[in-house]
Amino acid sequence: MVRSGSFSVDSSASHRRTPSRTVTLGHIQPQAPSYRTVFCNDRDSNQPVRFKGNSISTTKYNVFTFLPKGLFEQFRRIANIYFLGISCLSMTPISPVSPITNVAPLSMVLLVSLIKEAFEDWKRFQNDMSINNSKVEILQDQQWVAIPWRKLQVGDVVKIKKDGFFPADILFLSSTNPDGICYVETANLDGETNLKIRKALERTWDYLLPEKASEFKGEIQCEQPNNSLYTFTGNLIVQKQTLPLSPDQLLLRGCSLRNTEYIVGAVVFTGHETKVMMNAMNAPSKRSTLEKKLDKLIITIFCVLVTMCLIGAIGCSIVTDREDYYLGLLQKPDWEYRNGFVIGFFTFFTLVTLFSSIIPISLYVSIEMIKFIQSTQFINRDLNMYHAETNTPASARTSNLNEELGQVEYIFSDKTGTLTRNLMEFFKCSIGGISYGCGVTEIERGIAERHGLKVQEEERSTGAIREKGFNFDDPRLMRGAWRNEPNPDLCKELFRCLAICHTVLPEGDESPEKIVYQAASPDEAALVTAAKNFGFFFYRRTPTMVYVRESHVEKMGKIQDVAYEILNVLEFNSTRKRQSVVCRFPDGRLVLYCKGADTVIFERLADGMDDIRKVTREHLEHFGSSGLRTLCLAYRDLNPETYDSWNEKFIQAKSALRDREKKLDEVNHYFLPIFFSINDLEENSRACNLINNDMKQFIISSETDAIREAEERGDQVEIARVIKEEVKKGLRKSLEEAQHSLHTVAGPKLALVIDGKCLMYALDPTLRVTLLSLSLNCTSVVCCRVSPLQKAQVTSLVRKGAKKITLSIGDGANDVSMIQAAHVGIGISGMEGMQAVMASDFAIAQFRFLTDLLLVHGRWSYLRICKVVMYFFYKNLTFTLTQFWFTFRTGFSGQRFYDDWFQSLYNVVFTALPVIVLGLFEKDVSASLSKRYPELYREGIRNSFFKWRVVAVWASSAVYQSLVCYLFVTASSFGAINSSGKIFGLWDVSTMVFTCLVIAVNVRILLMSNSITRWHYITVGGSILAWLVFAFIYCGITTPRDRNENVYFVIYVLMSTFYFYFTLLLVPIVSLLGDFIFQGVERWFFPYDYQIVQEIHRHESDASKADHLEIENELTPQEARSYAISQLPRELSKHTGFAFDSPGYESFFASQLGVYAPQKAWDVARRASMRSRPKVPKKK
Amino acid sequence: MAMTPNSASSSAAASGSADSSASRRNSKRPKYSKFTQQELPACKPILTPGWVILTFLVISVIFIPLGVVSLFASQDVVEIVDRYDNDCIPAPARANKVAYIQGDGDKSCIRNLTVPKLMKHPIYVYYQLENFYQNHRRYVKSRSDAQLRSVRDENQISACKPEDDANGQPIVPCGLIAWSLFNDTYTLTKDSQNLTGQNLTVNKNGIAWESDREHKFGKNVFPKNFQKGNLTGGGNLDVNKPLSEQEDLIVWMRTAALPTFRKLYGKIESDLQKGDVIHVNLKNNYNTYSFDGKKKLVLSTTSWLGGKNDFLGIAYLTVGGICFFLALAFTIMYLVKPRRLGDPTYLSWNRIPGGR
């Protein structure tokens, strides 16, 4: 019997406040200082306050604001502003080009963007309208009257029927269900589909029928509207009685009513003040690193532009001479030609207008389009990332970050749940120092096999029960056998705790076989299922009672139904890390049941059971190292007086309008639960260990002697100081060793393990740098037991400190902060609700899909975007440089080389489509090879395709090509160009150059593509054809307006000469020859990794992914599981559960397939479902 | 991002008729298509040494013959170039050429050219100007195409400044280009072996592109107020001839691309024998001396590819030769130090040991 009699209240707790840290998670805003008072059922009283109406508008624009606001949005892009400026410049007489040159592409770009905006906004508007006009019944003159949602006002009493949606945030008054409860589904809010209970205050239960409800005259005092979905504080004043309100009474707009005939409530917040609407803000949009680098490139281009213009301006001011009388400078001396400086000044702007095409205006629009298609068509629809079991495809929630996925250097993963898929089974337990459960976890088996031991098939006792969530077998506990164990009472309390302390809802028949448990998390369901199998069958819940059918309690074989009255529930949250329930037995006994993480439970255990404590801790470590997730349960008996005094404080804290959370936390300090027992769940999956004993480990833990001593002395300040010292010492020493071992060749891989307590001090500004440099030297870093805030801190430490691209992946609400802190956040749409997904940039169904997301989509996307950007840069530079070279031969006057329309359509028509096709279909190696050679991913991390070196190569290519196009054509067109001795004029030459340029630039796309689909041919051919067709038409018409028809008939004149065809063959080939030689030499002597991989597999035809999928599907879960386990390294480290890991990406993806990827001992997380495809090339 | 209200309404609306479509709606499995799975059939060219060498060879095989052909065409052309701007100023006046050219005196000048080779008719007479920026921004835009084409538009002179009007009357043709019309004239006589002083008629018809003549210069547009301003820029026009027949003007107004340019002056419709001497009696009227421009007279035959211009031929030959040389060099390199295709030792992670 380990029930402790002593009960010491930590008296300091009420005075000592936990140091207040400002934690900003999500978009929770500080609460407004004042309160809102709502008079129910009394529209007149509410009149003066002027609450907002219930109609909502999610549109960005209306008819009048659309143009100004939409244009304003567009002109926040610097490139558009630039072009607007240039367009204005080109209206002035200093412009060498007609305004059309710059206005046409700009308006084309704006038009496309605005149409998209308008379309999206129209859809939003239609949605709003249909919502605002849906009907709701409100109470008017003792009757239910249907009115549209938009006419609903604060204070109205409304009736919502089954499966209806709540039109506003509503205070729940009464329901047709007994006990004033109703069930709501919050899927629209947080994506969780399990039903939640809401409970009305007992005082208002009667206001159900219209006659009665119209008598209701309450006054609600509550917080101002805010966006925190899970908090609500307020009081209901009915007949001068103040009743505290909690989130339990608030029905949020967006939720729907389930399993309840109808409910009646009073409207508290309407329209845009509802919590869901206040939450409906845009997720802070992240910009990809590549895009930021792109800005730098644009700035560089701009500098080049300014330099070019300066050269031209200086040249012009020197060259211009009045003696060039034919320029008309003599007769009417314009003031602009007065002196060299003025000439230079104006020429500068003339040239800026002329060379404006160097800035790729359509670049951003094109990239946006490409990324949008990539995310909606490729990522969202990838069958490889579709999880059939849960029916979830991958989903890119933003299209901004596609290429960021190809450059991730550090992955931060939530281990629990994320890596483990959250399939929970009750597997082992330790009660009162005795370990139960004869199952062998697969990690243990794997370890044993590696040691050469043959593990015999576990012998299951006949009739062992196995169902979802329960995989436990031990004859000592089953079927009432626990009565004969040394601690039968403890066993009994354990089972009761399992059956009572939870928030599970039973559904369906009240029989053990047919009941379905609705649980917020899978471990809760597993625990209740376990209790059921131990003979404590939880079958019914009312707001105040829990009904348990207990077997074998009084004596073997006896079954009795017991009703426990639930007095208080303290729900689980991530800071408290425990959940407690106070219940009253039918015989009046008061018991507190508690379950939670081992750290928090052990802290609160009663004194004097050191031996059991020690044994239990050993068991915990053993369970932990076998890959089990652990949970500690505890209970204590309460005497009524203690309980009453606590309860009073508890209620006070609950009804406080302000700081309720904090006060509740303080109240919790009064609990000192008593040691009980331990109970395990198997993480039924590829449990992953990131550290093995080949690695040199640095462990920084709060379990050192010095700290323990300090803790025993109990002085908080002292403890903090000692921990800090220890952490400092540990970090310094580890860093020295780490740096030392880095200098030695082939030193061991490094790993760092740090626990949450130490991490708190290590993240201190003084130690942060040390921690960072140590972590960066390590292959993997495991942070145990850390809070969400710390997760985010560690992430941003690496993000900001090391300037590396980080990715966070997690599945639970506790990962939200980390997901938002990283460059790329990935949510697993698993079982722990949707909060992580809501905060994420990409959502996938399974951790293993990260491989596809990063190695395939991310890598390709990076490659594609890089190529697109480089190509844009190249094509605009080439085009503008020909113009620049020409300027040298025009006395720097800024005469345009090309016709206005040629120049304006060059970007948006003649070279627009092939590059988009490139951005969609470019593949260097196939998807399967991408996964087979994960090392290829390094090219993204090193940013191999968007370095300044690459930019320089492209720039020199542009210089070369523009020189070839310009010089070859001008040199060869001197003199007569046909047998009738005729001569070309300026526009003939420029059209010739333009034709060569369009061909060269378009064909360049084919030269740079690794994978040429028919769309490449169509668009490249189409673009060249489009130019010719345009030229035929454009050169064939005359317009009646005062316009210089320079190019009239030019193309026909050109095509009537042999010269045209000779040049057309020569110039594009010569201009592409340079790039061709470069590519040939580069591939021959300095090949990229992907090129070698291409060569290795050059004879393999790309087997259809469909085959691949089938192979994957053939893998049964058992196969997959045992395969994964067989891939795990042996594992000896002792830890007990929660961990927060940040390994290098290789740890996750080092693939067993890669023949040339060396097997590394520390590559642990093997993909279960990836199997070697047959290497024999398929022949068709 | 208004997530909930939208989905709320849509699911509310759908709930009524949901049953039939429930099973279809429930499966979110993406449909298979080659596009979404990124499996479109594609050609995956690998630039192997073999391909590189082959490409070079093919280019050289095509280019070298083309180069030879165009070089031959260019070599067939016989061309006589004579620079006269300096020589046609009498020695005493050379100190101030501008004053001479702007003066009123007789500016005749005789140039004697010897035909080096048989020149078959038609022989084209060009004038070549150098350092004359016909492509200057102020110059190029100073014209009105509408006015040239149609009488109705003769007032469209806004682009023509400063030569837009004379005493308030619109100038036709307006603008700097027309104003600065080239006005040196050449009269040719030939001394052949048996005859001296033979007149060579220079045919000035058909020297402009037909499209210009037919469409850009009106048949009923006559010069007006031309060269009536304070300054005279260049040649004058016959007010009785419509613009479409003033081919000198039409040629001049097709502005040149570069500051060194040739323009067609006329055609000689008879052969010139080797050793013939041609006397050119020219009127040196045009002022290029202000800006140090050169003037040249050119007599040239043409081939099917045009005039004498070796550039295309040389370019073809050079590129073809380079490609051949490269093909050779790559082949030797390939034989001497072959790189095995797909050699895994080239992979970066195999090259750098101990990479983290």
What number of helices (H) and strands (E) belong to chain B? 11, 12
CB contact (8 A) between residue B144 and residue A1042: yes
- Locus of tokens 């590519």: A1079
Strands A1140-1143 and A780-784: antiparallel
Tens of pLDDT, residue by residue over B20-58, are: 344 444 677 888 888 888 888 888 888 888 889 999 999
A1165 sits in the region (left: phi over 0; alpha: psi -120 to 50; else beta) called beta
At residue A668, the pLDDT reads 47
Model confidence pLDDT, tens digit, residues A787-805: 777 888 888 888 888 888 8
Query: In this complex, do B209 and A350 lie within 8 Å of one another by their Cβ atoms?
Result: no
168-197 in chain B: CB under 8 A from chain A: 176, 179-180
Binding positions of A: 414-416, 524, 572, 595, 629, 785, 791, 811, 814-815
Tell whether B2 is within 8 A of chain A (Cβ).
yes
pLDDT of residue A448: 66
Q: How far is A41 from chain B (nearest CA, A)?
A: 25
Output the pLDDT for position B26: 60
The answer to whether B207 faces chain A, any CB pair under 8 Å, is yes
* Band (A920; pLDDT cuts 50, 70, 90): very high
B23 Cβ under 8 Å from any chain A Cβ: no
Q: Is the dihedral of CA A960, A966, A972, A974 positive or negative?
A: negative
**Integer Cα distance of A476 and A534 in angstroms:** 11
- Residue that has been written with the tokens 């160097």 in this structure: A358
Those residues whose C-beta lies under 8 Å from the C-beta of residue A52, and which sit 6 or more positions away, are: A270, A271, A272, A273
- CB nearest B263 (choices: A983, A990, A1087): A983
pLDDT score of A916: 93
Q: Do B3 and A188 touch (CB under 8 A)?
A: yes
Per-residue pLDDT band for A194 (boundaries 50, 70, 90) equals low
Among A276-280, A1126-1130, B309-313, top mean pLDDT goes to: B309-313
ipTM of model: 0.92
Helices within A922-1049 (DSSP H only): 927-932, 938-941, 948-972, 986-1008, 1014-1036
Q: What integer best gives the mean pLDDT of chain A?
A: 76
Whole-number Å distance between alpha carbons of A1023 and A1031 = 12
Distance, in Å, from the CA atom of A725 to the CA atom of A415, rounded to the nearest integer, reads 29
| Preceding omega of B173 cis (within 30 degrees of 0) | yes
Single-letter amino acid, residue A107? S
Residue A44 designated active-site: no
Residue A703 confidence (pLDDT): 65
Side chain identity, residue A395: S
Residue A985 to residue B256, Cβ atoms within 8 A: yes
Rounded percentage of chain A residues whose pLDDT exceeds 90: 15
**CB-based contact, B352 to chain A, within 8 Å:** no
Q: Which carries the bigger pLDDT value, residue A1128 or residue A133? A: A133
Scored b (16 or more CB within 10 A) or e, A1007-1037 reads eebbbbbebbeebbebbbebbbebbeebbee
Q: Which residues of A touch B8 (CB under 8 A)?
A: 131, 165, 188, 254, 256
pLDDT band at B84 (very low <50, low <70, confident <90, very high): very high
Cα(A938)–Cα(A1089) distance, integer angstroms: 9
Instruction: Give the burial class of A736: count Cβ atoms within 10 A of its Cβ; 0-12 exposed, 13-18 middle, 19 or more buried.
Output: exposed
Nearest-Cα distance to chain A for B194, in Å, is 29
Residue B200 in tokens: 């060579």
What residue type is assigned to position B225 of the chain?
A: N
Helix/strand/coil for A124: helix
- CA–CA distance, A751 with B296 (Å, rounded to integer): 83
Cross-chain CB nearest to A56 (options B5, B29, B344): B5
Strands B108-114 and B79-83: unpaired
The shortest CB-CB distance from A1066 to any of B52, B139, B316 is to B316
B39·A321 Cβ contact <8 A: no
Residues of A in contact with B55 (CB under 8 A): 1076
Contact A1080 B52 (CB under 8 A): yes
Work out the pLDDT band at A519, boundaries 50, 70, 90. confident
Number of A–B residue contacts, CB under 8 Å: 368
Binding-site positions of A for Mg(2+) read 414, 416, 811, 815
Q: Which of A429-433, B62-66, B257-261 has the lowest mean pLDDT?
A: A429-433
What pTM did the predictor assign? 0.77
Identify the residue among A165, A835, A936, A982 best suited for mutation to test binding to B, counting B beta carbons within 10 A and taking the highest.
A982
| Cα of B27 to nearest chain A Cα, Å | 6
The nearest CA of chain A is from the CA of B247 a distance in Å of 12
> Positive or negative, the Cα torsion across A414, A419, A424, A425?
negative
Residue A687 — pLDDT band, cuts 50, 70, 90? very low
**Pair A865, A290: CB distance under 8 Å:** yes
Per-chain mean pLDDT for chain B: 85
Residues in A closer than 8 angstroms to B233, CB to CB, are 325-326
Which string of DSSP letters, residue by residue, matches A137-192? EEEETTEEEEEEGGG--TT-EEEEETTPBPSSEEEEEEESSGGGEEEEE-HHHH--
Residue A907 has pLDDT above 60, yes or no: yes
What's the start-to-end Cα distance of chain B, in Å?
42
The model's pLDDT over B191-232, given as tens digits with 9 standing for 90+, comes to: 887 788 888 899 999 899 988 888 889 898 999 888 887 778
Inter-chain residue contact B5 with A938, CB threshold 8 Å: no
pLDDT band at A1131 (very low <50, low <70, confident <90, very high): very low
User: Could you report the per-residue pLDDT of A848-887, keeping only the tens digit for each?
Assistant: 888 889 999 999 999 999 999 999 999 999 999 999 999 9
DSSP annotation string for A440-498: --HHHHHHHHHTTPPPPPPPPPTT---BTTB----TTTGGGGGGGSS-HHHHHHHHHHH
Q: Give the chain A residue nearest B179 (alpha carbons).
A: A326
Summarised one tens digit per residue, pLDDT across range A136-164 is 888 888 888 889 988 888 888 888 888 88
How far is A410 from A937, CA to CA, in rounded Å? Answer: 12
Hunting for tokens 């599945």 — which residue is that? A811
Best probe of the B interface among A90, A370, A974, A1020, by most B CBs < 10 A, is: A974
Contact status, residue A136 vs residue A265, Cβ threshold 8 Å: no
A93 contacts in B (CB within 8 Å)? none
Are the beta carbons of A388 and B29 separated by less than 8 Å? Answer: yes
> Of the candidates A328, A976, A1049, which has its C-beta nearest B163's C-beta?
A328
Question: Which one from A414, A680, A841, A1163 is the annotated catalytic residue?
Answer: A414
In A, minimum Cα distance to B254 occurs at A985
Q: How far is A277 from chain B (nearest CA, A)?
A: 7
Question: A189 contacts in B (CB within 8 Å)?
Answer: 4
Distance CA B184, CA B186 (A): 7
Assess contact for A1053 and A988: CB atoms under 8 A: yes
Residue list, annotated binding site of A for ATP? 414-416, 524, 572, 595, 629, 785, 791, 814-815
Q: Cβ neighbours of residue A291 under 8 Å, at least 6 residues apart?
A: A367, A400
CA separation for the pair B207, B262 (Å, rounded): 12
User: Is the pLDDT confidence value at A105 over 70?
Assistant: yes
Residue with tokens 């001090």: A761
**CB-based contact B46 A1052, cutoff 8 Å:** no
Give the whole-angstrom CA distance, residue A892 versus residue A315. 6
Say yes or no for a CB contact (<8 Å) between A985 and B323. Answer: no
Residues A668 and A482: beta-carbon distance below 8 Å: no
CB contact under 8 A, B354 and A280: no
Inter-chain residue contact B311 with A1077, CB threshold 8 Å: no
**Rounded Cα gap, residues A570 and A579, in angstroms:** 6
What is residue A816's predicted lDDT score, i.e. its pLDDT?
A: 79
Tokens representing residue B94 in the block: 């050379």
